[in-house]
Amino acid sequence: MRSSQRGFTLVELLVVLLVTAVLLAVAAPSLANLRERMATLQAFHALTAALAQARMAAIGRGHPVTVCPSADGQRCRTDLVWDEGWLVYRDPSRAPQPLRPEDVLWVESRAAGPVAIRGTVGRHRVRYQASGMSGGNNASLRFCSRRHAVHLGSVVVNIAGRARHARVSRSEPPPCPYVP
């Protein structure tokens, strides 16, 4: 009587592992690009929403509201790095930091990811007046790829306070040399 053996031979197992490894090697760069695109879109939308909410809060409350980069959700950063998040706070005295914890209206905390966000030199925050206007000059928040150090797009706030996306060409994106 012959017993039937079930299972895989060593050769069959090696062939399956080899095919799986080739498929993963081909798919990995595409998955990394997809992750970067999704992180960029999510950050674009989150930052644009925070700016729109801050503008509406300034108009509705009748006094200035500020959006600034924040690492801890309580204090504004003094550099141009928006990677770790931002906060929106009531700013009737036009202070560089929220004066009281209850002045903070909204906090966006972000984990480190494939996208770096950098502010315009000289514009450490976006402050909306009671009219909804953003004083001074346009502010640009640049989104850059950490993997390729190229500019992926920007959120631009004009003097009237309106925030919009400014995308760059995928074929020839400009470099972002200041991204770590």
Domain residue spans of the chain: 33-167
Helix (H, G, I), strand (E, B) or coil at 175: strand
Q: CB within 8 A of 82, min separation 6: which ones?
A: 47, 69, 117, 118, 119, 141
pLDDT given for residue 88 in this prediction: 96
Give the residue with greater pLDDT, 88 vs 13. Answer: 88
Q: Output the pTM of the full model.
A: 0.79
The edge-to-edge listing of strands for the beta sheet with 85-90 is 104-109, 85-90, 65-69, 126-128
**Strand (E) or helix (H) holding 106:** strand 104-109
Give the residue with greater pLDDT, 135 vs 44. Answer: 44
Q: What percent of the chain has pLDDT over 90?
A: 43
pLDDT given for residue 33 in this prediction: 81
Only one residue has tokens 């996306």, namely 165
pLDDT given for residue 77 in this prediction: 93
Task: Please give the Cα distance from 38 to 96 (Å, whole number).
Answer: 32
CATH label, 33-167, candidates 3.40.50.1580, 3.55.40.10, 3.30.1490.20, 1.20.210.10: 3.55.40.10
Q: Would the pLDDT of 178 be above 70?
A: no
Mean pLDDT of 117-143: 89
Cβ atoms of 157 and 163 within 8 Å: the answer is yes
Q: Of the given ranges (19-23, 26-30, 48-52), which has the lowest mean pLDDT?
A: 26-30
pLDDT given for residue 31 in this prediction: 79
